Amino acid sequence: MTASTELGTAPLADPDVPTDLSHLLRSVFRRHAAGVAVITARGARPVGFTATSLTSVAAEPPMISFGAGTGSSSWPVLAEAEHVGVHILGEHQRDLAATFARSGADRFAPPTRWHTGPHGVPVLEGVLAWLVCRVVARVPAGDHRVVLAEAVAGDPTGTGRPLLYHQGDFNGLRD
């Protein structure tokens, strides 16, 4: 490996490459297009946040994972929730993604459309697909937790094209 490809180093001759590793990670992943999801849970009140870290983990049992910041306003509820909602957003839902990404927003107030779904989980309406999942583990990962959850209910029949996150902005697919 060269010095520029070893973990934790950057080419010294390029001033545009960040040397702070947290900044480097964020800079690299801004170039990685990711699908946009909203994760919801219910405690005394419904909570939710926009996530781009959603991953299919296994088919048997049907399991997903996502990252959740422990400093987020949703974390106290998510840390105790037995079930979560996972919603795949369509490109027509940029505003919804922005609402659930914005700190301090009343995420479940109009114009957000939602209903109480299986296991009391808030289910967003008009999404491409949704799952309700039983949380099976919360794995420490720095200032986040990786949540592993098993699908127990859902609906994959929404229509439209997926919403993507790339270079710090919500985007649709191009042909």
DSSP 120: G
Note the pLDDT of residue 18: 54
Cβ–Cβ < 8 Å for 95, 44: no
Residue whose pair of structure tokens reads 């990670």 in the numeric block: 25
pTM (predicted TM-score): 0.85
Write the pLDDT tens digit of every residue in 116-154: 999 999 999 999 999 999 999 999 999 999 999 999 999
Kindly indicate the confidence band of residue 16, based on its pLDDT and cuts at 50, 70 and 90.
Answer: low
How sure is the predictor about 2, in pLDDT bands with cuts at 50, 70 and 90? very low
Q: Which amino acid is at 21?
A: L
pLDDT of residue 31: 80
> Is the confidence at residue 173, as pLDDT, over 50?
yes
Residue 3 has pLDDT above 60, yes or no: no
User: How many C-beta atoms surround the C-beta of residue 172 within 10 A?
Assistant: 13
- Region 109-117: what's the mean pLDDT? 96
The answer to whether 41 and 82 have CB atoms below 8 angstroms apart is no
pLDDT digits (tens, 9 = 90+) for 55-73: 999 999 999 999 999 999 9
Separation between Cα atoms, residue 153 and residue 16, nearest integer Å: 46
Q: How far apart are the first and last CA of the chain?
A: 37
**Length of the chain measured in residues:** 175
